[in-house]
Amino acid sequence: MSGSLVLLHLAGAVALLLFATRQVRTGVERAYGDVLRLKLRSILKNPLLAVGAGAALAICLQSATAVALIVGSFAGSGIVGGTAGLLAVLGADVGSSLVVKLLSFDLEVLTPICLVAGTVLFMATSRRDLLQLGRILIGIGLLILSLRLIGEASEPLRESSILPVVVNYLSGDPVTAFLIAAIMTWLFHSSVAAILLVVALAARGLVPAELGVVLVLGANIGGGIIAVVLSRAAPRKARTVPLGNLIMRGAGALLALTAFILVDPPLDLLGATVPEQLVNAHIAFNLALVALGMPLAGLVYRLAERLTEINAPASEDDLATAEISALSEAALDSPAQALANATREVVRVCETVEVMLANIMELYAQADADKIKALAALDDRVDRKHAAIKLYLAKVTSRSLTEQEALRCQELIGACVKLEQVGDIIVRNMLVHVAKKMERGLEFTPEGWRELTGFHASVLANASLAFNVLVSRDPATARQLVEEKDRLRDVEKIASRSHFARLREGTVKSLETSTIHLDTIRDLKQINSLLASIAYPVLEEHGLLKGSRLAAG
């Protein structure tokens, strides 16, 4: 086989590895992302638990980068402390290294099982949770398959006359090898994929242990660069945790590289084979970072804060909150353009409502007067935009419109009214429950809190579907949204029965929080119904709605 064909096969196997990793991460985020984020918010308030939580989330998402971006956004919005957030990301690096360890075992028997089970779930059901579970299983199956393909594709390289020259050169120049690994990891956008590739090549005898350790250290610093690059457009405070993680990982990797070059430690202590030595070296490095990070995290976070302030303009916060209205008066004589402008503005209302809905449960967990005021201020913004959009669309309707344009105009007005109602429910109902819970010092039972957060996560996921339908007008997504409404109705019945069962048992916390619990479920159900109704115009247009029920199909 020619060298170019070998490299093509190897590139294809690596591409499958990257695709499979993303499939698993996407499935977990879509199925359980909201619940994981909600739980992560409360756990991160404890710096010691933050490390374990970060590791667990990285294992679920198969990406320390994703955890760094999530935690960075939490720290940026003040939901968690910066030091605890940095510790969580260090824990995520440990979790990512454990994923590499798990995938280094012989798991080939799982490939057909995961692919068959995942395909059956993905093809045979319309339930979102089962669809995403199918996606996760397919991703795992392809991930394991890609590792075997990498090994097979790299087998002909044993006979290559060029590879020994390259390996010898990199072995004699660890700094260059280190930089190449960092760049390769950044290009892959996955430290897991980069290190698995190195381990797979080492298993074929193509990468010696000493060079492999250098490449692993380079991949670690490359993994830190990914989150910094991806968060470069985020607000300054949200960039601080990823930058702090890069400082910690970068300094640690450079120190470890220097020590490795000077000391030449015995790698036999890390395992009997080269792949074992590389995987265990990766885990040991990240565990050492956590041990050092516990006392130094606060100092590193403050350093990262200083660095992010250097290039940040003094008016950054003002710029972050500045808004330019899309409701251009000049476009009124062109209805198509005017409706596109109105759609842009309604989408902004969707984003504001989504922020309100996403953050309300955090206030249930830990009420804060400043955050309550901030949430109420967002409702004022929704009201202002709602009034402006209605006035603008009223001006549009005074022009000559086609039937389709008139229907779209009514659809946007209806969506805007529903969004304003959702904001009112959050502020006028749910914030009242928050205040009552805070004043009385009440606590939900663990079972009750799980019911509330699970119900809220489903409503938040449906909100994303509703906002997508508003823009894409996709009938399949619209149908899924209304089906989710029916499913949530059943979930509400189950939650109510469980709550009343706890009341009959005389659970004190259930008695104290009964009204708040039931009213919150009711409010969330009403919000979900309003959001689901955004799909009705699309379903009616495609003949998928009969009265108040979905048409068979």
The string of pLDDT tens digits covering residues 480-531 is 888 888 788 888 888 777 877 777 766 655 566 778 888 898 999 999 999 9
Q: Span 96-119, mean pLDDT?
A: 89
State the residue range of the domain holding 518. Answer: 329-550
Q: Torsion angle of alpha carbons 71, 72, 77, 79, nearest 10°?
A: 30
Residues 271 and 407 in one domain: no
Residues 506 and 357 in one domain: yes
pLDDT 10s digits, 345-358: 898 899 889 888 98
Band of pLDDT at residue 107, cut at 50, 70 and 90: confident
Instruction: Report the alpha-carbon distance of residue 362 to residue 74 in Å, rounded.
Output: 11
CA distances from 66 to 80, 202, 272, 375, 446 (A): 17, 27, 33, 26, 28
Residue 316 domain flag:
no
Residues 356 and 266 in one domain: no
Residue 334 domain flag:
yes
Residues 136 and 228 in one domain: yes
Predicted local confidence at residue 420, as pLDDT: 92
Q: Give the total number of structural domains in the chain.
A: 2
Residues 345 and 303 in one domain: no
Residue 40 domain flag:
yes
Q: Torsion angle of alpha carbons 465, 469, 470, 475, nearest 10°?
A: -160
Residue 481 domain flag:
yes
Residue 161 domain flag:
yes
Task: Collect contacts of 411-418 with beta carbons under 8 A, ≥24 apart.
Answer: 411/537, 412/339, 412/342, 412/343, 412/346, 413/389, 414/533, 414/534, 414/537, 415/346, 415/470, 415/534, 416/346, 416/349, 416/386, 416/389, 416/390, 417/386, 418/530, 418/531, 418/533, 418/534
Residues 292 and 376 in one domain: no
Residue 317 domain flag:
no
Residues 292 and 419 in one domain: no
The H or E element containing residue 273 is none
Residues 304 and 333 in one domain: no
Whole-model pTM: value is 0.61
Residues 236 and 349 in one domain: no
Cβ atoms of 201 and 184 closer than 8 Å: no
Query: Residue 549: is its pLDDT beyond 70?
Result: no
275 or 317: which leads in pLDDT: 275
Instruction: Output b/e per residue, 377-387; b: 16+ Cβ within 10 A.
Output: ebbebbeebbe
CATH number of the domain enclosing 365: 1.20.58.220
Residues 359 and 501 in one domain: yes
Residue 223 domain flag:
yes
Count of H helices and E strands in the chain?
Answer: 21, 2
Residues 79 and 122 in one domain: yes
Residues 429 and 482 in one domain: yes
Query: Residue 19: is its pLDDT beyond 50?
Result: yes
Band of pLDDT at residue 190, cut at 50, 70 and 90: confident
